[in-house]
Amino acid sequence: MPITTSLPIPPDVRLRPAARDDVGQILCFIRELAEYEKLAHEAVADEATLAAQLFGERPAAEVLIAEVDGQPAGFALFFHNFSTFLGQRGLYLEDLFVRPPFRGLGLGKRLMVHLARLAVERDCGRFEWSVLDWNEPAIRFYRSLGALGLEEWTVQRVTGAALRALAANREE
């Protein structure tokens, strides 16, 4: 009598660059990420703005979409920055998000590996990102990939009224 086992069928995972038609889905990912990060009140982007910024004449960033069995499962939004110390551009990951039902399939790692390869192909001197200090699962994940936390650096940000006030400053 033959022995039969029922092994789960591995999902069909595909990573692909986003296209203009994906703007609605990208916005959904952004809103889901903002909700997870307890920052939904700060997610004010809309489809028109994203379309112009991501797919306009001078795209400000790129997006990689992960699909599982044809369903949108996660994304990575990234852009280039520049290191004066290295004299090279770098790859900066602004957002990485995998929807809860698709976690545990290795999508986050696949997205990160893809971006690391892209950084190497593009002759980037570094690949970096920020992570909220309370997000221990993400920090553990990034450490497992070989990332180092830069504890001596802190992010500084000027937005909204403070940004406009700084721009209006006449002490130039």
For the chain, the structural domain boundaries read: 13-168
pLDDT per position as a tens digit, 118-156: 999 999 999 999 999 999 999 999 999 999 999 899 889
The burial class, CB within 10 Å (0-12 / 13-18 / 19+), for 118 is middle
| Domain 13-168 of CATH type 3.40.630.30 | yes
Give the model's confidence band at 171: pLDDT under 50 very low, under 70 low, under 90 confident, else very high.
confident
Query: Which pLDDT does position 13 carry in this prediction?
Result: 94
Torsions phi, psi for 78 (to 5 deg): -145, 165
pLDDT per position as a tens digit, 49-92: 999 999 999 999 999 999 999 999 999 999 999 999 999 999 99
**Active-site residue identified among 54, 142, 147, 153:** 142
142 counts as catalytic:
yes
